[in-house]
A and B are shown apart, each in its own frame.
Chain A
Amino acid sequence: MKSALLSIHHNCKSFYIILGFFLFWQVIPFTGLVDPHFVPPLSKVLAESIQLGFANIAIDISISLGRVIIGFIMAAAVALPLGFILAGAFPKLARLLNPLMVFLSQVPPFILFPVFVIIFGVGNGGIYTVIFWSAIWPLLFNTIAGTQLVDPLLIKSARSMGAGQLTIFFKVIVPGALASIMIGTRTAITICFMMLIGAETMGANSGLGWLIHQSQRMAMIPRIYFAVLLVAVIGLLINYLIEWLERNIIVWQEDTAEELIEWSN
């Protein structure tokens, strides 16, 4: 009995602080330390969800996620082939274009959002372009780096066994570069989701960012907190999903770094 409780305690240690934080949030508006109008207790915030209606919430979430996924897929469809071609067939061109790409990648995506709105009009066009812009640079750079890092010995041994170009590409280069591409994917999706909320805040009429912005404009304060909580939870879920994907897709990668650390300790 005691050992069971202890093991539960060990596993749940990380959640204590989170529970404590939520408890704190619930209790503090009642003590008068903060104005309960401006910081509503947790129960009121959660009750907002019922007022909002679960269907509306689901629609907003799916619209936002849909935008991220579509923008990301568009960026991947451009960045991956471009990266492979640049790194594989035209390495000198890749090196020549590098300063330009680095410069363009440093332009903050959300500052480009009004510019994109002017070019593509209000509505989904600008948002997709912002997501496309945010996602393409990490993907492109990581694809180029990943392709260049593939062990040339592997390519040579495949060729010496009589593999054609296509076989080498699909069976040697793509898996080899996949590790870098997954890192790029993780960075890209994190940035995308951040920029999505920003872009939706500034100019959209549906989605999570719009929900936050609209609640702010209508001064419905509990709803603001609820939308922010929703965004936080979804962001965390996406993060865990990507990490899980990374762990389970690259099963053939030797965990050399982790082995070294465990060995030296």
Chain B
Amino acid sequence: MKHLAVNLRSIGYGSLPLIAFFAFWQFAAATELVPSAVIPPPVAVVRAILDSLKSGMLITQTAYSMVNIGIGFALSVLICIPMGLIIGTYYKTFEKVLMPFLRMCEKLNPFALFPIFMILFGIGHLEKVMVVLWVAQWPLLFNTIDGVRNVDRTIIKSARSMGANRSTLFFKIIIPSTLPFIFTGLRYSAQLAFYMIIASEMVGASEGLGWQFLSANMSYNIPMMYGIVVYVTLLSILINVLFQKLESRFSIWRQSAF
């Protein structure tokens, strides 16, 4: 009970600056400090979003984006985690040969690669899934590799001295030790994938949240534009919080280093 009260109080304090910000925004738009055609008041923004929700369009577009993210993300998990485990285990072999190349690929600008993806895969589902796959791969891969490299050698040695065979070693020691790192990688991947899907839909698509934003831009539906900005921000915060909860759930045994 006391815990709940403390939580509520911290949430209350936390929302204070946000509420003040939105109140100031409403005030500035109402008194025409900034022309309300350019920066509409929050009430108009919220109304636009609720209208879109009621007409079902927001949900369809969100579902479209989310399906693409989901498929791409699942594919990247299936590909990268085994690859990361293998590269991490035989790191010495791969270190000089493969790693610099992979790190270079990670640093390539995803925005610059959009046109290439559009050439190779068109602008339908396949391209979106490929974009998510490419973007989500790198954090996941590198975090898995780091996780495998950080497995405590002493634990492996003591397990082996107690007669563990290869599969026990793998399933009971390496995988649980690597899980916290994998989940950190998942969190970064998820956020990056969400950003890039929206960006890619803004540049070339016919459905999805980014497309809805672009069409609102084209038709000068300014409250809807702001509405989608706020909606996308809330979604990305939600994804972040979700993955953080997942991460802390699986990192229970990890001693806090700080």
Contacts and interface: CB of A to CB of B under 8 A. Distances in A.
A21 B102 CA distance: 12
B108 A108 contact: no
A198 B240 CA distance: 23
A197 B101 contact: no
B110 A14 contact: no
Contacts, number: 125
B110 A194 contact: yes
Given A103-B233, A106-B237, A235 B108 contact: yes
A99 B96 contact: no
B120 interface: yes
B113 A228 contact: yes
A38 B170 CA distance: 44
A106 B17 contact: no
Interface stretch (A54-62, A113-121, A166-174, A175-183): A113-121
B18 A18 contact: no
Name A's interface SS: helix
Contacts of B21: 100
Contacts of B226: 115
A216 B118 CA distance: 10
Contacts of A193: 109
A85 B202 CA distance: 38
Contact of B199 (A18, A118, A198, A236): A198
A39 interface: yes
A212 B101 contact: no
B64 interface: no
Contact of A108 (B100, B113, B232): B232
B227 to A, nearest CB: 11
B198 A114 contact: no
Contact of A197 (B15, B39, B109): B109
A225 B115 CA distance: 9
Interface residues of B, number: 49
Nearest to A10: B96
Contacts of B232: 107-108, 111
A103 B237 contact: yes
A107 B229 contact: yes
B26 interface: no
A232 B202 contact: no
A13 interface: yes
A158 interface: no
Contacts of B111: 110, 194-195, 197-198, 201, 209
B162 interface: no
A98 B114 CA distance: 34
A224 interface: yes
Given A100-B21, A103-B237, A236-B107, A108 B112 contact: no
B50 interface: no
A100 B18 contact: yes
Nearest to A217: B115
Given A97-B17, A111-B232, A236 B104 contact: yes
B109 A103 contact: no
A144 interface: no
Contacts of A224: 115-116, 119
Interface in A113-132: 114-115, 118-119
A39 B13 CA distance: 56
A84 to B, nearest CB: 20
Given A14-B99, A107-B229, A235-B108, 4 more contacts: A21-B101, A38-B119, A201-B203, A235-B109
